[in-house]
Amino acid sequence: MTIPTPLVTVQQVFYTSLANYQANAAAYNSSVFINTPITTDTNGNVFFGFRVQGTAPAPLSTTQSGFARIDPSGNATYVLVNAAANDANIGRDSHNSAPALSNDQSTLYVVVKSASTQAYGYLLGLNSTTLATKFKVFLKDPRNNNNASILDDATSSPMVGPDGDVYFGVMGNPFNGSRGFLLHFNSDLSAQKPPGGFGWDYTAAVVPASMVPSYTGPSSYLLFTKYNNYATGDGDGVNRIAVLDPNATEVDAHTSSNGLLIMREVLTVIGPTVDDDHFSPTFPLAVREWCINTAAVNPATNSVFTPKDGNRTLGSSTLNTSGQATFSVSNLNKSNHSITAVYGGSTNFLTSTSPVLTQTVN
């Protein structure tokens, strides 16, 4: 086997020259932080958000967050968030929120917000070459037109659908037990379309409609989403994942929504693990949430891959000559544990999953 030669590591700086950075590296390193995933286009340009803690040294000399672009030759440009939003109340990018490119790569969608309150922010569409602002929309709770909240501990990023529509999850205001919505806009952000019934802490994944044979609606693609309903005074604790139709609607059944029309549920799956913290006569069906950030969709196998909080693989065992497998574990913490056995299948037998066993560790 031939092992390829590693490429040479190159250090790039987007806000000053490399020489100026190296002359004052400690000050830059303690004040300027890349705080989003890095997005790349097909030409090798990279995009990311950055946040300033305190005041950055010259020539940046700002307390503002911003967004940067570096081309394959190392040429860099950036824009500060208050200038991009044309709003002096804006001071930060959204932590962990990856910039998203339009399908033709001409627009970069980013999220900006106030530095003093989480309930004030915009979704922006920037020119992907110059970082000049092309489009913007102020983010609102679709139930009541209150300012939507954009949390630093959220994990939602803008997502662009195959038709160019843009999706972004926000926290509600009021949040009704960590409730939020998947906002839905056209490509220039001028029209808001039906939202999804949950949002703020995941990024939706695209599911080709052909992957769901039972689907007969109007959309060429569907959305795979986290779909929680937390155990609170106005929630039922039945947390789910879902496949939604972005172009068909139903009335939101949640008591806080007052008849809001949301994306129609095509398929939903309830979390498989009992929520021991909330299971009670008040919440008789409470299950733990599918604690996911996003999912990987594989049309070749009609599969969606997603992690699940509280659902971990303990180990595996080989069948003996009698067709039996045993496995033991000694590191379960004190709690109730829902355990299933999964057989991976073979050329002679299909895969199989056992009923759930509840094991109590006192």
Among 273, 290, 311, where does a domain finish? 311
In a domain, 279, yes or no: yes
Among the residue ranges 7-16, 229-238, 284-293, 317-326, the one predicted with the least confidence is 317-326
**Per the structure, how many domains does the chain have?**
3
* Separation in Å, CA 311 to CA 31, 60, 285, 308: 38, 45, 18, 6
pLDDT, position 356: 78
Residue 322 pLDDT greater than 80, yes or no: no
SS3 194: strand
Q: What is the Cα–Cα distance from 101 to 98, expressed in whole angstroms? A: 10
- For residues 322 and 212, state if they share a domain: no
Among the residue ranges 4-13, 153-162, 212-221, the one predicted with the least confidence is 4-13
- For residues 256 and 179, state if they share a domain: yes
User: Is residue 142 within 8 Å of 260, Cβ to Cβ?
Assistant: yes
- For residues 239 and 156, state if they share a domain: yes
- For residues 195 and 224, state if they share a domain: yes
pLDDT, position 186: 98
Among 77, 111, 135, where does a domain finish? 135
- Note the pLDDT tens digit of each residue in 126-159: 999 999 999 999 999 999 999 999 999 888 999 9
Average pLDDT along the chain: 90
Q: What is the Cα–Cα distance from 1 to 67, expressed in whole angstroms? A: 41
Q: Which of 340, 341, 343 is nearest to 356 (CA)?
A: 340
SS3 210: helix
In a domain, 22, yes or no: yes
- Note the pLDDT tens digit of each residue in 147-197: 999 999 888 999 999 999 999 999 999 998 888 999 999 999 999 999 999
In a domain, 1, yes or no: no
- For residues 191 and 298, state if they share a domain: yes
Q: What is the Cα–Cα distance from 171 to 150, expressed in whole angstroms? A: 6
pTM for the predicted model, two decimal places: 0.84
In a domain, 50, yes or no: yes
Domain that holds residue 34: 9-135
- For residues 128 and 206, state if they share a domain: no
- Note the pLDDT tens digit of each residue in 23-65: 999 999 999 999 999 999 999 999 999 999 999 999 999 999 9
- For residues 256 and 184, state if they share a domain: yes
pLDDT, position 276: 85
In a domain, 182, yes or no: yes
Q: DSSP readout, 99-164?
A: -EE-TTS-EEEEEEEESS-SS-EEEEEEETTT--EEEEEE-B-TTT-PBPB--TT-----EE-TTS
pLDDT, position 339: 80
- For residues 201 and 326, state if they share a domain: no
For residues 119-123, give the mean pLDDT. Answer: 98
Residue 351 pLDDT greater than 90, yes or no: no
pLDDT, position 337: 75
In a domain, 354, yes or no: yes
In a domain, 3, yes or no: no
- Find the radius of gyration of the CA atoms of the chain: 24
Which pLDDT band holds residue 346 (cuts at 50, 70, 90)? low
- For residues 95 and 171, state if they share a domain: no
Among 295, 311, 327, where does a domain finish? 311
- For residues 274 and 180, state if they share a domain: yes
In a domain, 63, yes or no: yes
- For residues 178 and 94, state if they share a domain: no
**Tokens coding 89:** 């109340």
Among the residue ranges 46-60, 118-132, 317-331, the one predicted with the least confidence is 317-331
- For residues 154 and 279, state if they share a domain: yes
